[in-house]
Amino acid sequence: MKVTWFGHSAFRVETGNAVIMIDPFLSGNPTWDGSVEEASAGATHVVLTHGHSDHIGDTVDICKATGAVLIANFEICMYLAARGVENFSPGNHGGTQSFDNFDVSFVQAWHSSSEIEDGGRPLYLGNPAGVVVASKAEQGKVLYHMGDTDIFSDMGLINEIYRPTVGIVPIGDRFTMGAKLAAMACTKYFAFDTIIPCHYGTFPIIDQTADKFVAEAAGLNVVVPDRGVAVDL
């Protein structure tokens, strides 16, 4: 499994013949100055955790350019279908979808999910989620992207059901867990082989580096990748 971080919560996950873009906030991301086309080249699927614009990002353009299948909750699929996404596969909490190279399941996240319409009114886009991607190509590799979330005790149940080996964990505080709670979630509820922090450094009002989390998570295998540089897991 190969994982590339583009800043914020945007990732490219390659497993078998699948290229999965998760929460591809690229062109509006102040910490990513690369090409959307290069970052998403060969994309086969786009997975979204929730409907905020810093997670939907470039989904429409990527799906149109590559023909990638959008995997998201029903509300987001309908919202983006009206904006030109033709291939989509809706799901929701507790459900699992099976594809050639991986299974993907939606799990709980404590956050919100909406888009702001003209005039400042929020448009409901379903409940926020985390996503579990279980590779069929690489036995035992199960990636859990927590989305935007607080810590919650049912993380223990997520671990019991899916046994994730790779954790993508939001750490930036204010809108998600901060360093202390994120480290507590990892140590209390999971036994990740690898932890990749995200959702930091993008905007001035969230933590700017992963340093506090790395310190809080001492003894765990925390990988802080450079933006745009693939990590082999």
Residue 230 forms part of a structural domain: no
Residue 231 forms part of a structural domain: no
Residue 158 forms part of a structural domain: yes
Model pTM score: 0.98
Residue 12 forms part of a structural domain: yes
CATH code, domain with 60: 3.60.15.10
The per-residue b/e assignment along 123-145, b for 16 or more CB within 10 angstroms, e otherwise, is eebbbbbbbbbbbeeeeebbbbb
Residue 232 forms part of a structural domain: no
Domain holding 71, by residue range, is 2-225
Residue 233 forms part of a structural domain: no
**Going residue by residue through the chain (233 aa), what tens digit of pLDDT does each one get?**
999 999 999 999 999 999 999 999 999 999 999 999 999 999 999 999 999 999 999 999 999 999 999 999 999 999 999 999 999 999 999 999 999 999 999 999 999 999 998 889 999 999 999 999 999 998 889 999 999 999 999 999 999 999 999 999 999 999 999 999 999 999 999 999 999 999 999 999 999 999 999 999 999 999 999 999 999 99
Provide the β-strand partners of residue 124.
114
Please compute, for residue 166, the number of CA atoms within 13 A of its CA located in the half-sphere on the CB side. 24
Residue 13: both structure tokens together: 């996950």
What is the per-residue pLDDT for 10? 98
What is the per-residue pLDDT for 138? 87
Residue 198 forms part of a structural domain: yes
Domains in the chain, number: 1
Q: Give residues with Cβ within 8 angstroms of 53, minimum separation 6.
A: 25, 28, 115, 116
Distance CA 182, CA 66 (A): 34
Residue 59 forms part of a structural domain: yes
